[in-house]
Amino acid sequence: MARRRNNVVALAILVVIFASCARYASAVGGTPHSDFSYKVGDPDGPDKWATLQKDWAICGSGKKQSPIDVAKVEVSKDLGPLEPTYKARAAVVQNRGHDFMLNWTARNGDLSIEGKKYTLLQVHWHAPSEHTVNGTHLDAEMHMVHEESATKSKAVVAVLFSTKAGTPSKLLGDLKPYFERLSGKTNDTEEVKGTVDPSTWIDKASGYYRYEGSLTTPPCTEGVLWTIMSKVEDASKEEVDSIDRVKKSSTQPNARPTQKINSRIIRYYKAGATEAPASAPAPAPAPAPGPT
Ligand SMILES: *[C@@H]1O[C@H](CO)[C@@H](O)[C@H](O)[C@H]1NC(C)=O
Ligand SMILES: *[C@@H]1O[C@H](CO)[C@@H](O)[C@H](O)[C@H]1NC(C)=O
Ligand SMILES: *[C@@H]1O[C@H](CO)[C@@H](O)[C@H](O)[C@H]1NC(C)=O
């Protein structure tokens, strides 16, 4: 009798646990990426994006595409420090098929850039990094997507991560369980427990690079103002693996190849800095083996 009552209690507890798991919401807006891939040479790979849909033509013809290699930069003292007013807000994480996106469900704070006020909308991750620094990819890149409400023009702040030191990242560590649970579940979303506070995600002591580019996924829309933090953040290999497992079966790179810089200039700002960073260009790749 006592045992049966225990079973009933256990069953009731299970029901409660399942009910809270069922807080997986349905789709949350945003464009799920289903119509393109990242593998050069594939019929829907990045070299073919421009041909896949009529309004994706600029992916091929655009002169201000992203990502780019950040190499030669011009110090620009008048850009000034970044002063976001981000807040802790409820958020959901979604598997968009090619990446994980975190979306705040209430209006987050703003970031003023060159006299315009942009609101933080969503954040998503790429592994390896999309932008390269002097020819070198980092292990991951976070894109904080902002929009100016009147014009809908976009400003993205990119944070690069390296696993070299092996030190975990607080922000990625907090989100890793969500990435792991959503692995392989295209279009599924999960509410983040409590709130997500992005106010420490941009290191105010870091310098940054600024240039004009585009979205790095189709439709590759131009007119996006890019800010790439020059300080590379630490992350653990496990954290990067978790953002790399959008599809469950294998880790899958989701980085568009770098695009031509054309006539664009990359500006660099760091409080007090009068010189560009000294990081050396990547060594030339080993010559390809000749025909045998
Ligand atoms: C983010 O969430 C808000 C509120 O739920 C929704 O209106 C918006 O479309 C979402 N944005 C994206 C990019 O999914
Ligand atoms: C995800 O959503 C998109 C758009 O609603 C849809 O085209 C696609 O088939 C969905 N993918 C899966 C695996 O459910
Ligand atoms: C790339 O390397 C060159 C040569 O060392 C240096 O002048 C430049 O500032 C470096 N760029 C970055 C973004 O580190």
Active-site annotation holds for 98 = yes
Residue with the bigger pLDDT between 252 and 232: it is: 232
Architecture of domain 49-269: Roll (3.10)
Residue to substitute in 69, 73, 129 for testing ligand 3 pocket (most ligand atoms within 8 angstroms of CB): 73
Count of H-run helices and E-run strands, the chain: 5, 15
Q: Is 199 in the pocket of ligand 1 (CB under 6 A)?
A: no
pLDDT tens-digit series, residues 165-221: 999 999 999 999 999 999 999 999 999 999 999 999 999 999 999 999 999 999 999
- Name the closest ligand to CA 131: 3
pLDDT value of position 28? 32
pTM to 2 decimal places: 0.86
User: Given this model, what pLDDT does residue 6 score?
Assistant: 54
DSSP state of 263: T
Whole-number Å distance, alpha carbon 105 to ligand 1 midpoint, is 7
Ligand with an atom nearest the CA of residue 208? 3
**pLDDT tens-digit series, residues 36-94:** 999 999 999 999 999 999 999 999 999 999 999 999 999 999 999 999 999 999 999 99
Which of 98, 124, 131, 137 is catalytic? The answer is 98
Whole-angstrom Cα distance, residue 63 to residue 66? 10
The ranges assigned to domains in the chain are 49-269
Tokens of 115: 């006299």
Spatial neighbors of 118 by CB under 8 A, at least 6 apart, are 110, 111, 112, 146, 147, 148, 154, 155
Ligand nearest to the CA of 29: 1
User: Going by CA atoms, what residue is nearest to atom 3 of ligand 3?
Assistant: 280
Distance between Cα 22 and ligand 2 center (Å)? 20
pLDDT digits (tens, 9 = 90+) for 124-162: 999 999 999 999 999 999 999 999 999 999 999 999 999
Query: What would the mean pLDDT of 28-33 be, rounded to a whole number?
Result: 42
Q: Output the residue whose Cα is nearest ligand 3's atom 12.
A: 71
- Amino acid 208: pLDDT: 98
Q: Which residue has the higher pLDDT, 250 or 99?
A: 99
The per-residue pLDDT for 284 is: 65
